[in-house]
Chain A
C-alpha cells in the first residue's frame, strides 16, 4: 500500500480494531495486507492522535501488550468512512456478474446484498456499476451436471469437441473445480486420457454425464494458477510464426502470442507456441490473403496443399505448371 493511502487505512483500522477487540498483531496485519512492523507503526501513529487539546485524556488509547490489540477513546472515528464510488462499484459490478451465473444458487442473498450496498453507497456508485459490466456465457445444462459431480465426487464422462482438431473425443475426467475466466466457464479436472490436468469449456461438451465411480484426482494433479493465464505453452511446443495484414490483426487479440511485432502499414509478425499445429492450418485457410504461415516451412506447405485440394473440389484449382 502506498503512503498516500495511509490516512484512509487508519480511518478503517481504528473502527476495525474497536469492532474486533483483542485481535493479534499478526491477524490484523494479514487482514490489512501489512507487515507486522508497518501495523505497529500505524498503531504508534494512532496513539499520538485524538481530540483537540491533546491531553492524555483526549488521545486515542492503543495497546498491544501480549499481542492483543485494544483501542479505546476513539469514539469520533468509531465508524468507517463511507464506501467510495470505486470501492462500492467494484463490488457491485462483481456481484452483478455473479448474479448471471447459473452456478450461484444463492440468488436471494445476492439480491439482498446488492440492495444493501446500493443503499450504503449512494447514487453515484449504483450508476457507475450499471455502466460497467462483465458478461459470462452460461451453459446451464452442463453446469448442473458438473456441479453435481463435484459435490458428490463422481467421475464425469464427456463427449468433448476440440475445434482445433475437429474431433469429438470421449474422456473420463476426475473433476477438480469450475473456473470462470474471460467470460467462459470451464471444468478443471484430471483427464484420464491425457493423464494431465486439463480445462474443458462447458459449451464444448456435446454431452456430459456423471458416472457412479468415485472421483479421485491423483496427488500430482495441481490446479492451474488462473491468474497467470489459462493456457501456457510448454517448451516442447512447436514455434509458429505468422504474418498478418491489417484485416488479420484480430489474430493477435484472440490467440496468446509470445511476440507481436509491427511491420508497418498495419501488418503484424506473430510468434506463438502450440502443442498442436492443426488449428494453425485451419486459421491460415480462414485468413485467406489476410495472413500466412512463415514458419515452420512444413506447416506453410501443408496450408498450400490443403488449399489446392480444396480448390479442386470447386474445379477452381490453378493449372499446375
Chain B
C-alpha cells in the first residue's frame, strides 16, 4: 500500500466515522483528498477503497438519505470501536501468557495485534516475558493457515490425503468443523463429503496445497459436535484385554511399571499381567523389549509379536 493511498484511506475512515448522516460518493470525493479528477476513475477507486476497508473489518454502512437519491455511506461508531474493556492486573498477566503461546507460530501476529488494540484502549497488558513457564505451540504444518481460514470462514476444502498404510494420496473434500492439536500434532475434524461421514485427518498427512472448495459461510457445524471428542485417542479406548507376559529378571522396566500381578516364574523370569486395548499396538510395544519379554497369551497377541519378529528378520 503506497503512502498516498494509506493517507487517503485514513482520511476516508476519519471522514466516515465523523459524519452523523450518510455521505454520498460526491460528498466523500469533496471531503477526502487524493481522489482522481475523472468520474469513472473516482468511482473505481472509491469502490476499491470501500472493499479494502471492509476487508480490514471496518464496517461501512450504506444508507439512503431521505432527501437524496444517491446511496450514502458512513461508519457507525458503535460497530467500529472496540467496546469499553477493563483489564485487571491479574487478567493482564494471563493475557501476557496467552500471547506468548503463539510466539513466532502461525497466529503470533494476530495475537500481538489483539494485545496492541487492548493497550490502545487503555488496558494495561504485560509484555510476554521469559519466566518460569515457557510455552510452544507448533503450527509449522503447511496446511495449518489454510485450514484455520477455512474453519474461520466456514468454507469447504479439498486436499490430497494419504491414509495410514496406503501407498498413494487421494483427494478428499471436507467440510471443516475444527482443528485440534493433540500431543503436538494437528488434526482436522469435519464432514468428509465423498464418504458422507464425519472423519478426522492428520495435517501431517496432507500432501500439497489445501484448496477452498466452496464459498465462505457454506459449512454448518452440526449442533452438539465436539471436535476434541472426535479426535478420540487410543489411550481413551477401554483397556479391557489382558495378556500374560514373561519378563526377564532385571529387564523390562517399562512393562513392569504398567504390570498388574507381577510374580516370579522360574529361575531368571517373572510373569506379569498387562491390560491393553489394541492387539497390534500391544504387540508393537512388547516386541521392542526383544528377547527380554515373551507373550504367553492370548494367542493372537503372541502371533502378532512373532509376525513382527519375523518381519524384522526378513525386511
Binding site for B on A (CB under 8 A): 3-4, 6-8, 10-13, 15-16, 19-20, 31-33, 45-46, 48-54, 76-77, 79-91, 93-95, 97-98, 103-104, 106, 108-110, 112-113, 116, 119-120, 124, 128, 130-135, 137, 150, 161, 163, 166-168, 177-184, 188, 206, 223, 226-227, 230, 246-247, 249-250, 253, 265-266, 281-292, 303-304, 306-314, 316, 318
Structural contact, B18 and A76, CB atoms closer than 8 A: yes
Cα–Cα distance between A246 and B205 once the two chains are bound (Å): 12
Structural contact, B11 and A50, CB atoms closer than 8 A: yes
Identify the closest chain A residue to B107 (Cβ). A90
Identify the closest chain A residue to B8 (Cβ). A49
Identify the closest chain B residue to A2 (Cβ). B1
Identify the closest chain B residue to A30 (Cβ). B127
Q: Is B262 located at the chain interface by the 8 A CB criterion?
A: no
CB distance from B112 to the nearest CB of A (A): 7
Question: Contacts A76-B14, A131-B177, A290-B311 given: A91-B114 contact, CB under 8 Å?
Answer: yes
Structural contact, A79 and B104, CB atoms closer than 8 A: no
Structural contact, A247 and B152, CB atoms closer than 8 A: no
Cα–Cα distance between A282 and B290 once the two chains are bound (Å): 7
Cα–Cα distance between A87 and B180 once the two chains are bound (Å): 18
Question: Contacts A10-B6, A226-B134 given: A288-B315 contact, CB under 8 Å?
Answer: yes
CB distance from A259 to the nearest CB of B (A): 16
CB distance from A132 to the nearest CB of B (A): 5
Instruction: Tell which of A83, A113, A287 touches B95, judged by Cβ atoms closer than 8 Å.
Output: A113
Structural contact, B94 and A288, CB atoms closer than 8 A: no
Stretch at the interface among B35-43, B61-69, B164-172, B270-278: B164-172
Question: Contacts A133-B227, A312-B291 given: A94-B111 contact, CB under 8 Å?
Answer: yes
Identify the closest chain B residue to A77 (Cβ). B14
Question: Contacts A90-B110, A116-B87, A285-B288 given: A31-B116 contact, CB under 8 Å?
Answer: yes
Identify the closest chain B residue to A108 (Cβ). B90
Extra 14 A-B pairs, beta carbons < 8 Å, given A13-B120, A108-B90, A181-B184: A8-B56, A48-B7, A54-B11, A81-B82, A94-B98, A98-B98, A112-B88, A131-B179, A167-B253, A227-B104, A288-B309, A288-B312, A289-B310, A292-B312
CB distance from B58 to the nearest CB of A (A): 7
Cα–Cα distance between A287 and B310 once the two chains are bound (Å): 11
Complex A-B: 21 CB contacts under 8 Å: A15-B121, A50-B11, A52-B15, A77-B14, A79-B82, A81-B80, A81-B117, A85-B57, A91-B114, A94-B98, A103-B133, A113-B87, A119-B85, A132-B148, A182-B183, A183-B183, A226-B136, A246-B165, A282-B288, A284-B312, A307-B309
CB neighbours (8 Å) of A206 from chain B are: 257
Q: Which of B1-36 contact A (CB under 8 A)?
A: 1-3, 6-7, 9-11, 13-15, 17-18, 30-33
CB neighbours (8 Å) of B302 from chain A are: 314
Instruction: Tell which of A13, A95, A285 touches B98, judged by Cβ atoms closer than 8 Å.
Output: A95
Question: Contacts A95-B94, A247-B164 given: A132-B179 contact, CB under 8 Å?
Answer: yes
CB distance from B119 to the nearest CB of A (A): 6
CB distance from A28 to the nearest CB of B (A): 11
Q: Is B294 located at the chain interface by the 8 A CB criterion?
A: yes
CB neighbours (8 Å) of B33 from chain A are: 54
Structural contact, A288 and B120, CB atoms closer than 8 A: no
CB neighbours (8 Å) of A31 from chain B are: 116, 119
Structural contact, B181 and A314, CB atoms closer than 8 A: no
User: Which of A6, A89, A313 counts the most B-chain CB atoms under 10 A from its CB?
Assistant: A313
CB neighbours (8 Å) of A266 from chain B are: 162, 166-168
Question: Contacts A4-B1, A51-B18, A54-B33 given: A183-B93 contact, CB under 8 Å?
Answer: no
CB distance from B20 to the nearest CB of A (A): 12
Structural contact, B309 and A180, CB atoms closer than 8 A: no
CB neighbours (8 Å) of A13 from chain B are: 120
CB distance from B46 to the nearest CB of A (A): 15
Question: Contacts A288-B311, A316-B310 given: A12-B116 contact, CB under 8 Å?
Answer: yes
Structural contact, B287 and A12, CB atoms closer than 8 A: no
Structural contact, A308 and B151, CB atoms closer than 8 A: no
CB neighbours (8 Å) of A310 from chain B are: 287, 290-291, 294, 309
CB distance from A190 to the nearest CB of B (A): 15
Cα–Cα distance between A216 and B99 once the two chains are bound (Å): 30
User: Which of B1, B15, B177, B311 counts the most A-chain CB atoms under 10 A from its CB?
Assistant: B311
CB neighbours (8 Å) of B102 from chain A are: 90, 94
Q: Is B284 located at the chain interface by the 8 A CB criterion?
A: yes
Question: Contacts A163-B254, A307-B312 given: A89-B135 contact, CB under 8 Å?
Answer: no
Structural contact, A119 and B132, CB atoms closer than 8 A: no
CB neighbours (8 Å) of A284 from chain B are: 312
Structural contact, A283 and B101, CB atoms closer than 8 A: no
CB neighbours (8 Å) of A183 from chain B are: 181-185
Structural contact, B57 and A314, CB atoms closer than 8 A: no
Q: Is B91 located at the chain interface by the 8 A CB criterion?
A: yes
Q: Is B156 located at the chain interface by the 8 A CB criterion?
A: no
Structural contact, B228 and A133, CB atoms closer than 8 A: yes
Instruction: Tell which of B9, B13, B290 touches A309, judged by Cβ atoms closer than 8 Å.
Output: B290
CB neighbours (8 Å) of A119 from chain B are: 83, 85
Identify the closest chain A residue to B139 (Cβ). A134
CB distance from B256 to the nearest CB of A (A): 9
Cα–Cα distance between A265 and B169 once the two chains are bound (Å): 10
